Amino acid sequence: MAKILGIDLGTTNSLAAVWDNGKSVLVPNAFGEYLTPSVVSVDEEGTVYVGKTAKQRLASYPGQTASLFKRFMGTGKQYRLGQKTYLPEELSALVLRKLKEDAEKFLGESVEEAVISVPAYFNDIARNATKRAGAIAGLKVERIINEPSAAALACQNFRQQEDATILVFDFGGGTLDVSLVECFDNIIEIKAVSGDNQLGGQDFDNALAAHFLRSFKIDPENLTWETKAIIRSSAERCKKELTESKTAEMVVNSPQICEKITISRKDLVTICADLFQKMGKPVKRVLMDGKISTDMIDDIVLVGGSCKMPIVRQYLEHILQRKDIETMNPDQMIALGVGVSAGIKERDEEIKDMILTDICPFSLGVNVVNETNPDKKLTSFIIERNSPLPISKEQIYVNSWDGQTCMRFGIYQGEAMYVEDNILLGEIKMSIPPRPKHTVECRVRFTYDINGVLEVNAYIPMTNEEKQMVIVNKELNMSKTQIEEKLKEFSQIKIDPAQDEENHYLMAWGERLFMQCDGEMKEEIMRKMHGYEHVIKTDPYSAGKARKYLTVFLTCVESMLDHYLNWDEKEINMGSWYEDEGDAEMDEFFKKWDEEDL
């Protein structure tokens, strides 16, 4: 049986895994790395870059590069990259295609089907957009799995533990999901989920960036796109450094700003105080919904890049009054779990007995008349948040006034009392015979399956009329033919071929550093890059060596950039720095090309 690819389509990074030889195994990308940044960039020729190269282009080609689009799946938001506009699901399709192609190369076989994870808080529209992304990428996606369910699967598989109650705290770049999972007798049951899909590591970066601007009284209005991107990436670098050490410098070196500031872990807590408050809320809610106290939790599993921050773990220890929280592969847990899920779907002997039960992460209902305020219709809930899946529930509604000939049911998702504050998923309209009020019944049934597909049935016993609606089709809003056309259109898009990827990545990296540097260093980068291009074009046998040297050079520039504000001010002597930090052989190597090229 062909392999099913498990995909963690993340806000900042994506990973793939397969079930192999009785275990979940991560699949490396063309760089031999597991993390592929969820970033897409398009150049003037229309070539698409996905991953590490595209991430480098964020600062140098912001108008042609998109990131964090997962936050807007299914919202209709448009991204203009060069000559074309893309929907978030189309950009996601390009990421999925890249993961598919890299996996095919690694596995040596073609991949046609995938299981994809999504945040528990993704609504139906976003889930369907994810499926559509899969279809456009040429992948059959029958199963969508909640990220916390995947993390629990990985944890259970990894620890081989028997019965346990696990709290999964999944804190990524753009979203926070907290879930309570119970494992017993090979059954993994999600008891409650909560979260915030507008809270992630990115918010820490933004808070640090805002603090930096405030400290120097800089008005962001006066900054170019490029400078803003540089400030954000310096903020992220500083945040990550604070994971390793107690203080870190935030250095901004752009043509507009040359400043630095020292930040301690304590400062980070103060600067991000409101983010910590937001972080605590879903934890409390999930414990309340699951009706358990903190001492009943056997395991607390931290998932997602932002859990690497020691202050996040400390904060959780503080609010949960626990001292035993450990961090295991926070970047990989979800992907490893989706790999297990792919194994379950393949019906692999080893895990076929494992049953994953899931819950509906939000309430679903219809609109009903509000007698006291007719303009603000009320929500009548049919399926309540945290109900185990699959679930099928029915409610009976009656006509509201004499002679009414039609009953319209708006289908809503969300917890708010008034429908206008919830998300409209669709509408079902039933004709009814004109009769006195409260005498005609309509039975509305919601059936929500394990893949998050909602089916709505409405039935009028008086006339025997019945209507059925599957929200997945309505929201996909694309026929099979339309999807096939999109698939054809997207398969013609040229994704940067794997053999050129490393070169393009180095060039994109060099271009970004070129933009960030001044004077002598700018010239040096240009010289090195010209030399490198020359080697690649004319001397393929030396390409590997040139790549190695350029990587060393750019790494040095990157770390110098972190430590010096201004090359001219600090009077950095290129020659001496190079001899100290670099490699004389490398210098010689590039000099040869410099002379020929310039």
Identity of the residue, 201 or 510, whose beta carbon is nearer to ligand AMP in the bound complex: 201
Give the three-state DSSP class for 533: helix
Q: Which of 8, 89, 113, 348 is catalytic?
A: 8
**Which stretch in 151-159, 196-204, 408-416, 575-583 sits in contact with ligand AMP by CB under 6 A?**
196-204
**Which stretch in 44-52, 197-205, 276-284, 504-512 sits in contact with ligand AMP by CB under 6 A?**
197-205
Residues between 287 and 306 that touch ligand AMP (CB under 6 A): 304-306
Identity of the residue, 203 or 475, whose beta carbon is nearer to ligand AMP in the bound complex: 203
Least Å from the CB of residue 21 to ligand AMP: 27
Q: How many CB atoms lie within 10 A of CB 565?
A: 16
Q: How many CB atoms lie within 10 A of CB 295?
A: 9
Identity of the residue, 71 or 385, whose beta carbon is nearer to ligand AMP in the bound complex: 71
**Which stretch in 80-88, 198-206, 288-296, 441-449 sits in contact with ligand AMP by CB under 6 A?**
198-206
Residues between 71 and 90 that touch ligand AMP (CB under 6 A): none
Count of residues that bind ligand AMP according to CB under 6 A: 19
**Which stretch in 25-33, 200-208, 286-294, 437-445 sits in contact with ligand AMP by CB under 6 A?**
200-208
Residue 37 neighbours by CB under 8 Å, 6+ apart: 12, 13, 14, 51, 52, 54, 55, 67
Residues between 302 and 361 that touch ligand AMP (CB under 6 A): 304-306, 308-309, 331
CA distance 433 to 143: 41
Rule CB under 6 A: say whether 240 interacts with ligand AMP: yes
Identity of the residue, 239 or 512, whose beta carbon is nearer to ligand AMP in the bound complex: 239
Least Å from the CB of residue 37 to ligand AMP: 9
Helix-, strand-, coil-residue percentages of the chain, each rounded to 5: 45, 25, 30
Q: Which of 55, 70, 98, 474 is catalytic?
A: 70
CA distance 132 to 123: 14
Q: Which two tokens stand for residue 499?
A: 């053999």
Identify the H or E element spanning 103.
helix 88-107
CB-based contact 315:287 (threshold 8 Å) = no
Least Å from the CB of residue 547 to ligand AMP: 25
Among 6, 7, 9, 11, binds ligand AMP (CB under 6 A): 11
Give the three-state DSSP class for 499: helix
Q: Which amino acid does the sequence have at 83?
A: Q
Identity of the residue, 327 or 370, whose beta carbon is nearer to ligand AMP in the bound complex: 327
Residue 299 a catalytic site member: no
Identity of the residue, 173 or 365, whose beta carbon is nearer to ligand AMP in the bound complex: 173
Residue 43 a catalytic site member: no
Least Å from the CB of residue 435 to ligand AMP: 55
Identity of the residue, 90 or 147, whose beta carbon is nearer to ligand AMP in the bound complex: 147
CB-based contact 366:412 (threshold 8 Å) = yes
Q: Which of 113, 124, 170, 524 is catalytic?
A: 170
Rule CB under 6 A: say whether 233 interacts with ligand AMP: no
Among 4, 5, 9, 10, binds ligand AMP (CB under 6 A): 10
Identity of the residue, 173 or 343, whose beta carbon is nearer to ligand AMP in the bound complex: 173
CA distance 311 to 243: 8
Least Å from the CB of residue 173 to ligand AMP: 3
Identity of the residue, 185 or 326, whose beta carbon is nearer to ligand AMP in the bound complex: 326
Among 147, 236, 358, 475, binds ligand AMP (CB under 6 A): 236
Identify the H or E element spanning 145.
strand 140-146
DSSP class of residue 326?
B
Rule CB under 6 A: say whether 172 interacts with ligand AMP: yes
Instruction: Please report how the helices 52-60 and 225-244 are oriented relative to each other, as an axis angle in degrees rounded to 10.
Output: 130
Identity of the residue, 258 or 269, whose beta carbon is nearer to ligand AMP in the bound complex: 269
Residue 499 neighbours by CB under 8 Å, 6+ apart: none
Identify the H or E element spanning 81.
strand 79-81
Closest CA to 197 of 180, 179, 172: 172
- Most distant CA atoms of the chain, gap in Å: 95
Among 4, 13, 332, 337, binds ligand AMP (CB under 6 A): 13
Alpha carbon distances (Å) from 550 to 209, 529, 533, 593: 30, 8, 11, 13
Q: Which of 89, 90, 147, 475 is catalytic?
A: 147
CB-based contact 408:429 (threshold 8 Å) = yes
CB-based contact 191:168 (threshold 8 Å) = no
Bridge-partner residues for 80, per DSSP?
Answer: 85
CA distance 243 to 31: 25
Residue 70 a catalytic site member: yes
Q: Binding marks (x or -) toward ligand AMP, 47..66, rule CB under 6 A?
A: --------------------
CA distance 193 to 149: 10
Q: Which two tokens stand for residue 190?
A: 């999600």
**What Rg value do the Cα atoms of the chain yield, rounded?**
27
Residue 8 a catalytic site member: yes
**Which stretch in 233-241, 261-269, 294-302, 478-486 sits in contact with ligand AMP by CB under 6 A?**
233-241
**Which stretch in 7-15, 189-197, 249-257, 497-505 sits in contact with ligand AMP by CB under 6 A?**
7-15
Q: Give the active site residues.
A: 8, 70, 147, 170
The residues binding ligand AMP (CB under 6 A) are 10-13, 172-173, 200-202, 236, 239-240, 243, 304-306, 308-309, 331
